[in-house]
Chain A
Amino acid sequence: MNNHVIKETMKPKIKAFRESIYLLTRNKLTAIALYIILLIVLVALFSPYIIPYPEHISDEANINNKFLPPSGKHFFGTDEIGRDIFSRVLYGTRVSITTGILSVGLAVLIGVPVGAIAGFIGGTIDEVTMRITDMFLSFPPLLLAIVLVSILGPSLNNAIIAIAVSWWPWYTRLVRGQAISLRERKFIQAAETIGTPKHKIILKHIIPNTISPVIVQASMDMGGVILTIASLSFLGLGAQPPTPEWGLMISISRKYFPDVWWYSIFPGLAIFVTVLAFNLLGDGVREILDPKTRKK
């Protein structure tokens, strides 16, 4: 019987998921973006097993092979110590995607509950929270991240923390606005007349109903965050050598540009494609979830 209940509970959720996939793939551009991202994620997951030169991920060098142009043996050529750039770009997917997901995830984790509490409770708590977010929002996010990493010390982990810290206020603002309008909804008033405690109202009524805009914002932000990670690494504040991070690779390749063009072009293309795919997906998701732009 209990199994039956779980099964029945899952059914409508699966149906809703299917419907959203249908809506996503109906727009061609979004479908392409979705497939690219699917491919990127697969590459990220399996990169250690599919790249031709796994040993080139670390510092291992073969100085004799340095600066070989793209060929059948090295699709994207080799770098200044003879490492295969194709292997490193593919592995870089893993670095970018994980750091991207972690930073956005952390920002959502901080931003959403704070926004929901501020919006629902209102009053002084709301006022104080909003002034704090104002403080964060008065810096350009990249600049704030740079300052934070400089304080914490340059490393990939610190870069993730810095980005999350400079990004959470956006989610707080977004969710707070939603929470304020939800507060007037009758089902929240119904919950209050029933006697549902406040923390439960926030957790079970408010937050699930703010998920849609948060997903839109998060999928739009993914591209930006990946770009920021690359920028930080480019400045030497994110990933440290020999990590195969795209921004870092471009930073090192600067010295050899334009003679060794493949060294900068391919990591650059990787960033370009990933960020574009996430932005397109973000637009597609917004079109579905936002009734104003929704085409049935």
Chain B
Amino acid sequence: MAFFEMKQLKVNHNTFDGNRCVLDIDHISIEKGTTYGIVGESGQGKTVMALTILKLLQCPPGEIEKGKILLDDVNLLEKSSNYFMKQVRGKKIAMIFQDPMSTLNPVFTVGEQMVEVIKKNKKITTKAATKEAIDMLKTVQLADPENVLTKYPHQLSGGQRQRIIIALALSCGAELLIADEPTRNLDVTIQASILKLLKKLQKEYKLTVLFIANNLSLVSAFCDKVGILHGGKIIEQGNTQEIINNPQQAYTKVLVEAIDIKKEIKKDDNPGDVILKVENLKKYFKVNDALNRQKGLTLEAVDGVSFDIKRGEVLGIVGESGCGKSTLVNTILKLFEPTAGSVYFEGKNIYAKDKENAINIRKDIQIVFQDPYWSLNPRWLVKDIIAEPIDVHEKLSSLDKLERVSELLKMVGLKENAAFQYPHEFSGGERQRIAIARSLASRPKLVVLDEPTSSIDVFSQAQILALLQQLKKKFELTNILISHDLGVVNQMASRIMVMYLGKVVEFGPAREVFKDPKHPYTKALFNAIPDIKKIGIEHLTTLEGSIPSPINPPSGCRFHTRCTRSKEACKSIEPEMRYIGDNHCVSCLLYSDS
């Protein structure tokens, strides 16, 4: 008898279009002390499953048709909400949600929230509960727990908040932990440290973990068994290594393929002349710190970045959130005025106050945004969305326009009658195709891809990437690709630029950087992502601390506060870009002597 079981569970959802089955699970069983990973993309029923187990599913519209959820041989589905409140939630089953900010109450300090929960559940005094809370924070390896207790959630970083959530989940002695994408909104280096912590706690407390994730990468490192959830059904389950080495279903194969970031990919690029030249670009923002009553601070989002792109190549920009990559491209797209520096497109300064030039630049440089849900106006028909650039730059009759739109739709692999539909009728992948069609409508020369695949499911990801490569060839496009997904960068980019806190730390040919990263930060970044060929999470590198604020960046080398190889000199001397090979340059003092 397994510790936790789900049998013939069927959950429906009542909607405008009738009754829809959202979860149909034949059998899942988890032994005590092991980790079971559920992998599925958004909309496949992962969260519905977690909510059903905790009896938090909203009914209606939800409806549990039949089935059993057994915890220690007790069928949870037969129990009342009251029983759940008193006996199950927190005591037996605890949940870690993906967004720690919305799980913590912003108007109370961390201490108040933790003490409250511990007091309620263990019926002890405030003093004892506070002591317990401090102990719990120590267990989750938070530095200076007494101080953390007095802080409000917004004063802490994402990683710290997630640790607090874990502490809360464990504080009442839960035996089953449901972790719903616990590291989704965190940077890869922090993600690795949270995973290591979870693994350690699991051993200490003999926890059983149901780990929910949207790709195999984390599961491969973390879970003993894995189940692939697709369309509400478990289509394949078994030991993690077996599934990865020998996937049976086509869908699983795609999932496995998608996480192999270090595979060799042939690229045939023949870069031409320089199309875009960025010289010492700086973008500072003026900010006021209302909390500390400081005015006129400057946030150095992009601090002196120079590079050039040759016609026909794909430049990949990587870095964690807050490194300035989005600000950099937004400045190149003229959504922001630069603080200093200049950008030349085909030899012309794009910031020059020349009206005709300004319009032409708009025509030549386009962008595809990350989130296809908000990059299309929800109240426009697809034909109007795609025709927007045509309206601005060319005068075409409505019939000619429609013809061009159908042509573009066909090119991105959508049906012609998609023109007369609203964006909400399409899936994420299809919406991204619409966004790509729009970006190509004005026949641009340079297209910026801002995380083009990170909000869409893995299955569509591969197709979108193939489409982008095909279109790039057809229109002879040059691309700037921003992504935190190194697999995507590896597949697309010919050169890679790694940014940290507004500065470029490493820049070189993609193949070289992937094979042999030089800068300590690049190394940490690349090694924080689980390698499917290795078992366990011990091989992952973690970076201590969080990214320093760009308002008051560290002196000298900006990475020295988190660098494992930092020397005394790193604190004062700002490293310069140095070539260490053909086209490969690094900004680090480790390489300044050679």
Co-assembled chains A and B:
yes
Tell me if A194 and B399 are in contact (CB < 8 A): no
When distances are taken between beta carbons in the complex, the residues of chain B under 8 Å from A205 are 377
**Given the interface contacts A189-B335, A193-B362, A195-B393, does A209 sit within 8 Å of B369 by beta carbon?**
no
A190 within 8 A of B: yes
The residue on B at minimum CB distance from A208 is: B379
Tell me if B16 and A11 are in contact (CB < 8 A): no
When distances are taken between beta carbons in the complex, the residues of chain B under 8 Å from A186 are 369-371, 374-375
The residue on B at minimum CB distance from A23 is: B16
Q: Measured between alpha carbons, how far is A194 from B441 in the docked complex, in Å?
A: 10
A and B contact pairs by CB, cutoff 8 A, 20 listed: A5-B399, A8-B417, A8-B420, A11-B420, A12-B421, A12-B422, A16-B422, A23-B16, A186-B375, A189-B335, A190-B369, A193-B333, A193-B367, A194-B362, A194-B389, A194-B392, A195-B362, A195-B393, A196-B388, A208-B379
**Given the interface contacts A8-B420, A205-B377, A209-B379, does A191 sit within 8 Å of B388 by beta carbon?**
yes
A22 within 8 A of B: yes
**Given the interface contacts A194-B442, A296-B15, does A5 sit within 8 Å of B402 by beta carbon?**
yes
The residue on A at minimum CB distance from B442 is: A194
Tell me if B398 and A5 are in contact (CB < 8 A): yes
Q: Measured between alpha carbons, how far is A291 from B358 in the docked complex, in Å?
A: 40
Chain B 379-392 per-residue mask, 1 if CB under 8 angstroms from chain A, else 0: 11101000011011
Chain B 359-373 per-residue mask, 1 if CB under 8 angstroms from chain A, else 0: 100110111011100
Given contacts A11-B420, A195-B363, 20 further A-B contacts (CB under 8 A): A5-B399, A8-B417, A9-B381, A16-B422, A23-B16, A185-B374, A187-B375, A189-B330, A189-B335, A189-B367, A190-B369, A190-B438, A193-B335, A193-B366, A193-B367, A195-B359, A195-B362, A205-B377, A211-B379, A296-B61
B496 within 8 A of A: no
Q: Measured between alpha carbons, how far is A295 from B15 in the docked complex, in Å?
A: 10
B43 within 8 A of A: no
Chain A 180-208 per-residue mask, 1 if CB under 8 angstroms from chain B, else 0: 00000111011111111100000011001
> Which residues of A, 1-22, contact B by the 8 Å Cβ criterion?
1-2, 5, 8-9, 11-12, 16, 19, 22
> Which residues of B, 34-91, contact A by the 8 Å Cβ criterion?
61
Chain B: minimal CB distance from A294 (Å): 11
Query: 6 tightest CB-CB pairs across the interface, nearest first?
Result: A195-B362, A186-B375, A8-B420, A186-B369, A208-B379, A194-B389
Instruction: Bin chain A's interface residue count.
Output: 20 to 34
When distances are taken between beta carbons in the complex, the residues of chain A under 8 Å from B379 are 208-209, 211
Q: Number of contacting residues on B, CB 8 A?
A: 43
At the interface, is chain B mostly helix, strand, loop or mixed?
A: mixed
When distances are taken between beta carbons in the complex, the residues of chain A under 8 Å from B238 are none
Q: Measured between alpha carbons, how far is A8 from B405 in the docked complex, in Å?
A: 15
Chain B: minimal CB distance from A203 (Å): 12
Chain B: minimal CB distance from A187 (Å): 5
B376 within 8 A of A: yes
Q: Measured between alpha carbons, how far is A257 from B90 in the docked complex, in Å?
A: 65
> Which residues of A, 145-193, contact B by the 8 Å Cβ criterion?
185-187, 189-193
Q: Measured between alpha carbons, how far is A190 from B381 in the docked complex, in Å?
A: 16
User: What residues of chain B have their CB less than 8 Å away from a CB belonging to chain A?
Assistant: 14-16, 61, 330, 333-335, 358-359, 362-363, 365-367, 369-371, 374-381, 383, 388-389, 391-393, 398-399, 402, 417, 419-422, 435, 438, 442
Q: Measured between alpha carbons, how far is A296 from B14 in the docked complex, in Å?
A: 8
When distances are taken between beta carbons in the complex, the residues of chain A under 8 Å from B388 are 191, 194, 196
Q: Measured between alpha carbons, how far is A211 from B377 in the docked complex, in Å?
A: 13
When distances are taken between beta carbons in the complex, the residues of chain A under 8 Å from B369 are 186, 189-190
When distances are taken between beta carbons in the complex, the residues of chain B under 8 Å from A23 are 16
When distances are taken between beta carbons in the complex, the residues of chain A under 8 Å from B420 are 8-9, 11-12
When distances are taken between beta carbons in the complex, the residues of chain B under 8 Å from A196 are 388, 391-392
The residue on A at minimum CB distance from B14 is: A296
Chain B: minimal CB distance from A160 (Å): 30
When distances are taken between beta carbons in the complex, the residues of chain A under 8 Å from B377 are 187, 205, 208-209
The residue on A at minimum CB distance from B382 is: A12
When distances are taken between beta carbons in the complex, the residues of chain A under 8 Å from B381 are 9, 12
The residue on B at minimum CB distance from A192 is: B335
Chain A: minimal CB distance from B390 (Å): 9
Tell me if A187 and B374 are in contact (CB < 8 A): yes
When distances are taken between beta carbons in the complex, the residues of chain A under 8 Å from B358 are 195
Q: Measured between alpha carbons, how far is A16 from B435 in the docked complex, in Å?
A: 23
Tell me if A190 and B378 are in contact (CB < 8 A): no
The residue on A at minimum CB distance from B362 is: A195
> Which residues of A, 186-238, contact B by the 8 Å Cβ criterion?
186-187, 189-197, 204-205, 208-209, 211
When distances are taken between beta carbons in the complex, the residues of chain B under 8 Å from A195 are 358-359, 362-363, 389, 392-393
